[in-house]
Amino acid sequence: MLEVQNLSMRFGGLLAVDQVSLDVQEHEIVSIIGPNGAGKTTVFNCMSGFYKPTGGKILFEGGEVQGKPDHKISRLGMVRTFQHVRLFSQMTVVENLLVAQHRHLNTNLIAGLLKTPDYRKREQKSLDRAAYWLERVGLLDLANREAGNLAYGQQRRLEIARCMVTEPKLLMLDEPAAGLNPAETKELNRLIVSLKEDYNVSVVLIEHDMSLVMDISDRINVINQGRPLACGTPDEIRQNDDVIKAYLGEA
């Protein structure tokens, strides 16, 4: 469903991403790994529309999306999280989820002022969906807390829930396990797998936690210094000499 062909991104004299290609099939978890500064997040930023790539193509469900504005890409069903949690921290947990459903709501100002039946129906539906996902990530009791007051692990889960209420087809997670303890990482592992199995969402994952990556990925892409280094199943990657030298290290 997603195909990235020869993606390049140049910042002045720096070629941050050089001819990276990857593809994601439906119902698949694909990881991108590599040393810090390898250009993984830059690839994400190009895919989600924050950067306009200087070369290459990004096809989502057959249509070219490179260079489109970010909010349009997200409306197509490609939604991302961030390396550092980016919640609306002064808004409550529910409000965070309601904002995410903006495009499913009746945003006509007059309809809202008059509370037309359609407006109320959609508003209720979005509340139900929010409640469902809060229950799913175990935050229902904290629904009216300010998001900034949650514990770090809870904020991470809220961020994923906030993506899921938009009903995405492809979820891009940027280091979701960063800063989590082993128990929380395990929980995250189960959550991501269930997103794929139960909600039919494809996942692109950037992560440094190798146990998580090896455990849940269907395929792995390795990037080093902006260039693609290897691509394959977890087992193949584990055996690959180049990858061991550049990133995994000798055991």
Residue ranges binding other proteins (CB under 8 A): 48, 50, 70-71, 74-75, 79-80, 82, 86-92, 94-95, 98-100, 102-103, 105-107, 109, 112-113, 127-128, 130-132, 134-135, 140, 143-144, 146, 162-163, 166
For the chain, the residue count is 251
Q: Measured from the CB atom, is 97 or 230 closer to other proteins?
A: 97
Q: Measured from the CB atom, is 4 or 78 closer to other proteins?
A: 78
Least gap, CB of 245 to other proteins (angstroms): 35
CB count, 10 Å around CB of 64?
A: 11
Q: Measured from the CB atom, is 27 or 120 closer to other proteins?
A: 120
Least gap, CB of 159 to other proteins (angstroms): 9
Please report the sign of the dihedral spanned by the C-alpha atoms of residue 218, residue 199, residue 47, residue 50.
negative
Least gap, CB of 116 to other proteins (angstroms): 12
Q: Measured from the CB atom, is 106 or 225 closer to other proteins?
A: 106
CB-side neighbour CA atoms (13 Å) of 79: 16
Q: Measured from the CB atom, is 90 or 233 closer to other proteins?
A: 90
Distances (CA, A) of 76 to 54, 158, 215: 22, 21, 29
Q: Dihedral angle at the C-alpha atoms of 67, 27, 133, 173, nearest 10 degrees?
A: -50
Of 36, 64, 48, 35, which is closest to residue 9 (Cα–Cα)? 48
Least gap, CB of 135 to other proteins (angstroms): 5
Of 34, 45, 62, which is closest to residue 9 (Cα–Cα)? 45
Least gap, CB of 228 to other proteins (angstroms): 25
Least gap, CB of 183 to other proteins (angstroms): 25
In order, the DSSP letters of 74-126 are: HHHTEEE--SS----TTSBHHHHHHHHTGGGS---HHHHHHT-HHHHHHHHHH
Q: Measured from the CB atom, is 114 or 242 closer to other proteins?
A: 114
